[in-house]
Amino acid sequence: MVHIGPGPTPDRNEQEHERFSSTLRQSLEFHQFVLLDMACENAPDVLKQASRYELFNASFHWLIIDNHYNSVEEEGTTGENGLFTCPWTMITNSTENGETAKPIQSFTNGTEPDGAMDSDWTASSNGSEATASGHTFDLLATMNVSINAEITVASPTDPSYRGFTLYDLWNPGFISGGKLKIEPLGCYSPAKGLQIPKRESTVVRRRNMDGLRLKIMTVVTQKPHQPFELYLTTPQNTHLDSVHRYNYGLMGMLKEFYNFTFVNRRTKSWGYLRNGKFDGMIGALSRREVDLGGSPMFFRQERHRVVSYTTRTFVERI
């Protein structure tokens, strides 16, 4: 568990300040931080614009202060090394004007209880459960949040906004029909400071995409005389479309690792500019007709403007 108290002791001030300053300088080179208070009248409009311009990604770290507060059933327990353990069980969801807000559950394992609505979720961690309250989570469920999003929602635990329960939000693929995921992150109180339990890395925690259907386009130069996927996976006439078959095999491994499924598309062209527009696989990706390119391609500046490359998978020239 990472535990940050109300403040360092005097003899550690200088060391802590330098460490924090160094970390912040490095982060600011690549990331931007956004603090949004949902009590502000125009806060929902800010979220809608961020969704429109795809700002819920790894480059923007969002800290969203929810305008609902949760009455906590218990003060928490003492964990290992005497450190405070965040209480995850919430019993009352209230708003600033005293109204009762609808409790929201988020099921990170992809299952839903009987009678659950589409807007319901469950947040769980190591067998513990958390419930988050209303409007902010409902709103973000309708927005283009990415799988690598850095969104933390701080839900106040009292009307004075002195204590908070923190939630980590992401979506395996909003455009492809993915559902918003809510995971408990930690908590903060003036007496105990910020507490974030030790957990797995982001990549490990977000590897389950719940069987999301992703459209993948693969380039083939020969006309398959059999079902397309069978053509790509059968070791016959391997001199034909060899690099595409190789890359499709790699994509199959990723499919199993991240738990998503393929909807196959094929084309004859990698993607070249024709009268100012791309054809083939690059064209389909740029128009968002497909989600993934199933064939390797050369890095070209004009392509880089319209698609995002992954890592190198095949070396053809040295």
Tens of pLDDT, residue by residue over 217-239, are 999 988 888 898 888 888 888 88
Measured CA distances, 183 to 41, 162, 186, 197, 205 (Å):
27, 21, 9, 12, 10
Question: Between 149 and 118, whose confidence is greater?
Answer: 149
Is residue 304 very low, low, confident or very high in pLDDT (cuts 50, 70, 90)?
confident
292 and 159 assigned to the same domain? no
146 and 194 assigned to the same domain? yes
185 and 259 assigned to the same domain? no
Residue 24 has pLDDT above 60, yes or no: no
256 and 144 assigned to the same domain? no
290 and 159 assigned to the same domain? no
Dump the DSSP string for 81-140. GGPEEPP--EEEEEETTSPBPPEE---TTS---TT--TT---EEETTEEE-EEHHHHHHH
The predicted-structure confidence for 28-48, as pLDDT tens digits, reads as follows 456 789 999 999 999 999 999
181 and 53 assigned to the same domain? yes
Residue 172 is predicted with a pLDDT of 94
* Pairing outcome for strands 60-65 and 32-37: parallel
Domain of 279, CATH number, reads: 3.40.190.10
Percent of residues, the chain, with pLDDT higher than 70: 69
Is residue 218, in this structure, part of any structural domain at all? yes
Helix (H, G, I), strand (E, B) or coil at 50: helix
Could you say which of 177, 207, 237 is where a domain stops?
Answer: 207
Residue 72 is predicted with a pLDDT of 40
- 54 closest CA partner among 122, 134, 149: 149
Distance in angstroms (rounded) separating the CA atoms of residues 180 and 255: 20
Is residue 107, in this structure, part of any structural domain at all? no
Any residues with CB less than 8 A from the CB of 56 and at least 6 apart, and which? 50, 62, 143, 144, 145, 146, 149, 151
Is residue 92, in this structure, part of any structural domain at all? no
Residue 287 has pLDDT above 50, yes or no: yes
Residue 170 has pLDDT above 90, yes or no: yes
Backbone angles phi, psi at 219, to 5 degrees: -85, 130
Could you say which of 163, 180, 207 is where a domain stops?
Answer: 207
Helix (H, G, I), strand (E, B) or coil at 178: coil
Is residue 146 very low, low, confident or very high in pLDDT (cuts 50, 70, 90)?
very high
146 and 287 assigned to the same domain? no
Residue 20 has pLDDT above 60, yes or no: no
222 and 200 assigned to the same domain? no
Structure tokens at 148: 């690598």
Residue 186 is predicted with a pLDDT of 94
- The arithmetic mean of pLDDT across residues 272-298, rounded, is 91
138 and 23 assigned to the same domain? yes
The predicted-structure confidence for 92-105, as pLDDT tens digits, reads as follows 333 344 443 333 33
For 253, the domain range is 213-305
58 and 153 assigned to the same domain? yes
Residue 243 is predicted with a pLDDT of 85
The predicted-structure confidence for 46-93, as pLDDT tens digits, reads as follows 999 999 988 998 889 999 999 875 544 333 443 444 333 454 433 233
Mean pLDDT (the chain) is 76
Residue 50 is predicted with a pLDDT of 92
Could you say which of 186, 207, 228 is where a domain stops?
Answer: 207
Q: Contact, 96 vs 89, CB < 8 A?
A: no
Q: What is the DSSP letter of 176?
A: T
Measured CA distances, 158 to 72, 73, 102, 166, 182 (Å):
8, 12, 17, 14, 21
51 and 30 assigned to the same domain? yes
Residue 17 is predicted with a pLDDT of 60
Instruction: Find the length of the chain.
Output: 318
